[in-house]
């Protein structure tokens, strides 16, 4: 299973954090610091895999954002790259040419999409279309929809 | 009271802060506003306030005062509220929080909600962070949803069940009936999560594993359909149909086929098919191949299939993609014990990976190379590994040096080769060699009796070049101390003996004593070596010396005493060291560094024969390392002196 998924910028600013195991707040901060230090310190053309404690760390850079996840030792790293890529594709489809600013200003939507894609650290849906349709339908349920479309709900 | 500012307005404002202090001020101001809004029990804007709080939490600021508000949002009837409430719960209300359990009732109600998206929220939250108590309370609801025909809910319920089983393994049994027809689903989401659930159950319980073995034919069929079916737009990734599902099925097959001949037999064909037909131009195809290889290696596959798998890994090693090379090396490392010969065939490619630019790949290649060293390839491999040691990053040198020593010890074709290899490591990576290598090397050297002259000569020559690498200096000092007589008498047979006088040797050792590069331990070795030479050379008469280092000071004082008051004992005490046996527990370290408390196999020198020798009055040697002396009296007693003697 995936233990955590982090999105952070080139300067190490956290844009999204999803934890699939119970971790104390202080420990979370330490892990985030460790991950950002390790990943940002990698040479540009290194391979995308690292070892940290007993976890496999898989990371990929998309434009100005690093997507970094921690996996159990028996997980398939190459497939993890596909999982990260799929999440980026979903964000891209939803926001239309997604960029870091979209995720900064609409972080809650990034979480909603992630929660339709992964559950308990595992992939729950493998079809992009099915997933997009679910998100659309959920969005439709949001009250003050008119306000939501032109101006954000909150 | 004006409406609280919108979330995106807040984000915009905070981003204009130019310093950390400015940001903190803005956050504090907004937190105060949010707190008073919470106190007023404002339903309209609670959602907005919690969303803002979550943003500030992501920036690293405390948000615990919003925990109860999340609970109120979850309990609300509005979907917008629930969405943010559950998000807040997942971020702020993990099982370590006191109020975590208060969610249970809300989740229970929402699991039975009329809107599937609300049920989905509840399942997601429970499946991501439900505590054991919560899982126990709600397992029944999850089990019910696992049997629904609604695929949206069924797939989430399956993963929720996985979480429940992880938290409370005893509850696994209750999900068994619901798994009956999970694999007959056409929906890929449900199929995928079902396979994950089955995998979890099989991994945790041998009974479940036996029970689910009968699913192998069905899994094989599903996998076959995925490969053979034409283009499916909904699940296609670069020409491959649902790679996520394919990999999970391969993993489940691995678990089911392990240590079972029949199951392994049943999946043989499909594995061969996947291995040969999968498109390898993109990462996604290689991800499937990788999983296939892992499965083949783990089940009871026939040898042809195993060779196919290792060859795939061999091809991976030649791939341009670093990730694939890395994954190949990691897998080969796992199989090198069981399929040693097959992996040996790829040895040259693996050794080439030592020259890779990527640090992770180099490390894996180094580990694998050491695993592949054997009696037949030791010379060739060692050449490559020593070259690697020369040029690699410092972070590798210690491990590589240790690996070389181990390999050399196991497979050295000759003693001379062994000594030469040790020399090479000490001179090229001398400063990175582990501390415990020094006693090990000394033990090795004493054991190669016929090589003593050659060894001491080579070590002496190395010292002349460079005295900065402490392990080299320490081993050299020790050898010169023991075999210095062989050095000056030019007895070397292996190579041209060098001409060196006693004075030159003593000058070198003295140089070590005064050099800034020498550590206290090294100085100890040199001082002792000079002392030993007093019986092998004729020109050492006494040792002056005081040093700010207590250890050295004590040695110098005691050696001096040995010259002055106990000169008759000196030859016996400084006899050539016997060959050291490795002790059962720690190897030679134990003997070499004993304080005389254990019983080393040396002749009983507690009562040395009384040999009277007139003290020579030739020049005493002086050393410039004086700082202060204790008031001139000697604190040593006979016992201490003799005990000290077994300390090198």
Q: Tell me the per-residue pLDDT of B392-409, one tens digit each, with 9 for 90 and over.
A: 888 889 899 989 998 998
Pairing mode, strands A118-119 and A122-123: antiparallel
For the cut 70, the answer to whether the pLDDT of residue B626 exceeds it is: no
Of B60-74, B224-238, B293-307, B509-523, least confident by mean pLDDT is: B509-523
For the cut 60, the answer to whether the pLDDT of residue A18 exceeds it is: yes
- Chain A positions in Cβ-Cβ contact with residue B323 (cut-off 8 Å): 47-49, 77-78, 81
**B303 touches B341 (CB < 8 A):** no
**A70 touches A55 (CB < 8 A):** yes
Residues A122, B129: C-beta atoms closer than 8 Å: no
Average per-residue pLDDT for chain B: 84
Structure tokens at B205: 């319980």
Q: Which residue of B has its CA nearest to A7?
A: B58
User: What is the per-residue pLDDT for B541?
Assistant: 57
In 3D space, the residue among B413, B403, B339, B338 whose CA is nearest the CA of residue B365 turns out to be B403
pLDDT band at B132 (very low <50, low <70, confident <90, very high): very high
- Degrees (nearest 5) of the Cα angle B44, B103, A134? 70
Distance CA A25, CA B611 (A): 74
Out of A14, A126, A154, the one facing B245 most closely (by C-beta) is: A126
Residues A154, B155: C-beta atoms closer than 8 Å: no
In 3D space, the residue among B91, B54, B88 whose CA is nearest the CA of residue B72 turns out to be B88
Partners of A119 in the beta sheet?
A: A122
SS3 B541: coil
User: What is the per-residue pLDDT for B617?
Assistant: 26
- Chain A positions in Cβ-Cβ contact with residue B284 (cut-off 8 Å): 78, 82
Mean pLDDT of B476-499: 82
| Alpha-carbon distance B239 to nearest alpha carbon in chain A (angstroms) | 14
Every domain of chain B and the residues it spans: 435-579
Partners of B625 in the beta sheet?
A: none
Every domain of chain A and the residues it spans: 2-150
- Chain A positions in Cβ-Cβ contact with residue B52 (cut-off 8 Å): 154
Alpha carbon B131 to its chain centroid, in Å, reads: 31
Mean pLDDT of B613-618: 30
B536 vs A123, which has greater pLDDT? A123
User: What is the per-residue pLDDT for B598?
Assistant: 33
User: What is the per-residue pLDDT for B540?
Assistant: 61
For the cut 70, the answer to whether the pLDDT of residue A145 exceeds it is: no
Give percent of chain B with pLDDT exceeding 70. Answer: 88
- Chain A positions in Cβ-Cβ contact with residue B154 (cut-off 8 Å): none
For the cut 50, the answer to whether the pLDDT of residue B588 exceeds it is: no
The gap between the terminal CA atoms of chain A, to the nearest Å, is 34
pLDDT digits (tens, 9 = 90+) for B377-389: 999 999 999 999 9
Distance CA B146, CA B157 (A): 5
- Chain B positions in Cβ-Cβ contact with residue A33 (cut-off 8 Å): none
Of A90-99, B14-23, B228-237, B435-444, least confident by mean pLDDT is: B435-444
| Alpha-carbon distance B250 to nearest alpha carbon in chain A (angstroms) | 11
User: Mutating which of B44, B69, B79, B197 best tests the A interface, going by the most A Cβ atoms within 10 A?
Assistant: B79
Please name the residues between 9 and 28 in chain A that touch chain B, using a CB distance below 8 Å. 14-17, 19-20, 22-24
Residues B358, A23: C-beta atoms closer than 8 Å: no
- Chain B positions in Cβ-Cβ contact with residue A47 (cut-off 8 Å): 322-323, 325-326, 358, 360-361
Residues A78, B163: C-beta atoms closer than 8 Å: no
User: What is the per-residue pLDDT for B182?
Assistant: 92
Structure tokens at B519: 């550590």
Distance CA B525, CA B473 (A): 9
Distance CA B226, CA B221 (A): 9
Residues B287, A112: C-beta atoms closer than 8 Å: no
Give the number of other Cβ atoms within 10 Å of residue B314's Cβ: 17
For the cut 80, the answer to whether the pLDDT of residue B447 exceeds it is: yes
User: What is the per-residue pLDDT for B391?
Assistant: 86
- List, in sequence order, the alpha helices (H) in B213-339: 216-228, 243-257, 261-277, 283-298, 303-317, 322-335
Distance CA B134, CA A96 (A): 39
The gap between the terminal CA atoms of chain B, to the nearest Å, is 83
**A65 touches A15 (CB < 8 A):** yes
pLDDT digits (tens, 9 = 90+) for B265-287: 999 999 999 999 998 989 999 99
Dihedral over Cα of B265, B266, B268, B271: its sign: negative
| Alpha-carbon distance A125 to nearest alpha carbon in chain B (angstroms) | 4
**B418 touches B458 (CB < 8 A):** no
Specify whether domain A2-150 bears CATH 3.90.105.10. Answer: no
- Chain A positions in Cβ-Cβ contact with residue B15 (cut-off 8 Å): 104
> Which pTM value belongs to this model?
0.80
CB neighbour list of residue A101: distance below 8 Å, 6 or more residues apart: none
- Chain B positions in Cβ-Cβ contact with residue A128 (cut-off 8 Å): 234
CB neighbour list of residue B225: distance below 8 Å, 6 or more residues apart: none
Residues A127, B189: C-beta atoms closer than 8 Å: yes
In 3D space, the residue among B469, B495, B634, B470 whose CA is nearest the CA of residue B566 turns out to be B634
pLDDT digits (tens, 9 = 90+) for B325-372: 999 999 999 888 888 888 999 999 999 999 988 888 998 999 999 999
Distance CA B634, CA B640 (A): 11
Asked if A30 is an interface residue toward chain B (Cβ–Cβ < 8 A), one would say: no
For the cut 50, the answer to whether the pLDDT of residue B622 exceeds it is: no
Quote the strand ranges of chain A, DSSP E: 2-9, 14-19, 49-52, 55-62, 65-71, 118-119, 122-123
| Alpha-carbon distance B291 to nearest alpha carbon in chain A (angstroms) | 7
pLDDT digits (tens, 9 = 90+) for A66-109: 999 999 999 999 999 999 999 999 999 999 999 999 999 999 99
Distance CA B596, CA A136 (A): 81
User: What is the per-residue pLDDT for A154?
Assistant: 59
Mean pLDDT of B520-527: 84
Asked if A61 is an interface residue toward chain B (Cβ–Cβ < 8 A), one would say: no
Q: Which residue of A has its CA nearest to B247?
A: A79
Out of A77, A120, A144, the one facing B127 most closely (by C-beta) is: A120
User: What is the per-residue pLDDT for B68?
Assistant: 94
User: What is the per-residue pLDDT for B639?
Assistant: 33
Asked if A72 is an interface residue toward chain B (Cβ–Cβ < 8 A), one would say: no
Q: Which residue of B has its CA nearest to A26?
A: B60
Asked if A62 is an interface residue toward chain B (Cβ–Cβ < 8 A), one would say: no
In 3D space, the residue among B72, B46, B80 whose CA is nearest the CA of residue A148 turns out to be B80
For the cut 80, the answer to whether the pLDDT of residue B459 exceeds it is: yes
pLDDT band at B127 (very low <50, low <70, confident <90, very high): very high
Q: How many residues can be counted in chain B?
A: 648
Residues B159, A17: C-beta atoms closer than 8 Å: no
Distance CA A116, CA B243 (A): 18
Out of B52, B156, B357, the one facing A119 most closely (by C-beta) is: B156
| Alpha-carbon distance A131 to nearest alpha carbon in chain B (angstroms) | 10
SS3 B234: coil
User: What is the per-residue pLDDT for B22?
Assistant: 96
Distance CA B475, CA B628 (A): 29
Out of B60, B79, B152, the one facing A142 most closely (by C-beta) is: B79
Order across the sheet with A14-19: list the strands.
A14-19, A2-9, A65-71, A55-62, A49-52
Distance CA B137, CA B159 (A): 17
Specify the DSSP element, H or E, that contains A139: helix A128-141
For the cut 60, the answer to whether the pLDDT of residue B584 exceeds it is: no
Of A64-68, B87-91, B125-129, B468-472, least confident by mean pLDDT is: B468-472
pLDDT band at B609 (very low <50, low <70, confident <90, very high): very low
CB neighbour list of residue B318: distance below 8 Å, 6 or more residues apart: B349
- List, in sequence order, the alpha helices (H) in B205-242: 206-212, 216-228
């Amino acid at each position: 299973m995936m233990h955590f998924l982090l999105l952070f910028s080139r300067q190490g600013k956290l844009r999204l954090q999803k934890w699939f195991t119970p971790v104390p707040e202080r420990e979370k901060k330490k892990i985030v610091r460790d991950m950002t230090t390790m990943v940002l310190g990698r040479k540009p053309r290194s391979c995308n895999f690292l070892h940290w404690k007993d976890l496999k760390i898989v990371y990929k850079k998309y434009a100005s954002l690093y997507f970094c996840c921690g996996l159990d030792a028996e997980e398939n790293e190459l497939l993890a790259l596909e999982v990260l890529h799929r999440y980026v594709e979903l964000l891209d489809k939803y926001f239309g040419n997604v960029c870091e600013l979209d995720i900064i200003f609409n972080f809650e939507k990034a979480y909603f999409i992630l929660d339709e894609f992964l559950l308990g650290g595992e992939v729950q849906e493998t079809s992009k279309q099915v997933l997009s349709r679910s998100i659309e339908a959920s969005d439709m349920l949001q009250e003050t929809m008119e306000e939501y479309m032109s101006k954000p709900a909150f | 009271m004006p409406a609280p500012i919108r979330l995106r307005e807040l984000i915009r404002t905070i981003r204009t802060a130019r310093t950390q202090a400015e940001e903190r001020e803005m956050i504090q101001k907004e937190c105060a506003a949010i707190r008073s809004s919470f106190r007023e029990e404002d339903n309209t804007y609670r959602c907005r306030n919690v969303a803002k709080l979550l943003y500030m939490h992501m920036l690293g600021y405390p948000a615990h005062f919003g925990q109860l508000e999340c609970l109120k949002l979850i309990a609300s009837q509005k979907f917008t509220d629930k969405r943010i409430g559950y998000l807040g719960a997942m971020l702020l209300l993990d099982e370590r929080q006191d109020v975590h359990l208060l969610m249970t009732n809300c989740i229970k109600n929402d699991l039975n909600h009329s809107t599937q998206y609300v049920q989905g929220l509840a399942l997601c939250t429970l499946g991501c962070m439900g505590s054991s108590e919560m899982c126990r309370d709600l397992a029944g609801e999850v089990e019910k949803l696992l049997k629904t025909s609604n695929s949206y809910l069924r797939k989430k319920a399956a993963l929720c069940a996985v979480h429940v089983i992880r938290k409370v393994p005893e509850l696994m049994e209750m999900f068994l009936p619901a798994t009956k027809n999970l694999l007959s689903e056409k929906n890929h989401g449900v199929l995928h999560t079902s396979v994950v659930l089955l995998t979890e159950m099989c991994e945790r319980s041998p009974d479940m594993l036996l029970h689910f073995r009968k699913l192998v034919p069905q899994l094989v069929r599903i996998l076959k359909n995925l490969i053979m079916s034409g283009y499916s737009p909904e699940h296609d990734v670069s020409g491959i149909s649902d790679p996520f599902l394919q990999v999970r099925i391969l993993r489940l097959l691995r678990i089911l086929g392990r240590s079972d001949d029949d199951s392994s037999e049943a999946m043989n064909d499909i594995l061969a098919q996947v291995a040969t037909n999968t498109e390898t131009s993109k990462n996604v195809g290689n991800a499937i191949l990788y999983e296939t290889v892992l499965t083949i290696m783990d089940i009871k596959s026939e040898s042809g299939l195993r060779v196919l798998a290792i060859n795939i890994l061999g091809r991976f090693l030649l791939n341009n993609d670093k990730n694939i090379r890395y994954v190949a090396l990691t897998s080969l490392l796992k199989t090198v014990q069981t399929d040693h010969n097959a992996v040996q065939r790829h040895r040259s490619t693996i050794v080439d990976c030592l020259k890779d630019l990527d640090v992770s790949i180099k490390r894996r290649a180094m580990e694998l190379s050491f695993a592949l060293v054997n009696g037949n390839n030791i010379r060739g491999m060692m050449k490559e590994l020593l070259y690697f040691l020369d040029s690699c990053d410092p972070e590798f040198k210690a491990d590589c040096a240790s690996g070389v020593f181990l390999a050399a010890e196991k497979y050295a074709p000759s003693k001379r080769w062994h000594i030469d290899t040790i020399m090479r490591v000490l001179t090229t990576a001398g400063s990175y060699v582990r501390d415990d290598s020094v006693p090990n090397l000394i033990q090795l050297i004493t054991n190669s009796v016929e090589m003593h002259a050659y060894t001491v000569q080579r070590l002496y020559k190395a010292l002349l070049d460079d005295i900065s690498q402490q392990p080299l200096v320490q081993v050299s000092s020790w050898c010169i101390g023991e075999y210095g007589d062989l050095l000056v008498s030019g007895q070397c047979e292996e190579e041209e003996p060098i001409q060196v006088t006693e004075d030159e040797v003593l000058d070198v050792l003295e140089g070590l004593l005064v050099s800034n590069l020498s550590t206290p331990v090294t100085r100890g070795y040199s001082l002792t070596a000079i002392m030993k030479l007093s019986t092998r050379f004729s020109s050492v008469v006494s040792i002056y010396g005081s040093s700010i280092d207590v250890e050295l000071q004590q040695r110098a004082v005691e050696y001096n005493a040995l010259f002055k008051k106990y000169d008759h004992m000196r030859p016996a005490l400084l006899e050539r060291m016997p060959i050291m046996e490795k002790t059962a527990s720690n190897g030679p370290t134990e003997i070499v560094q004993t304080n005389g408390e254990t019983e080393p196999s040396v002749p009983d020198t507690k009562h040395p024969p009384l040999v009277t020798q007139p003290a020579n009055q030739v020049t005493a040697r002086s050393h410039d390392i004086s700082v202060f002396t204790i008031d001139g009296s000697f604190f040593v007693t006979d016992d201490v002196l003799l005990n000290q003697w077994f300390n090198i």
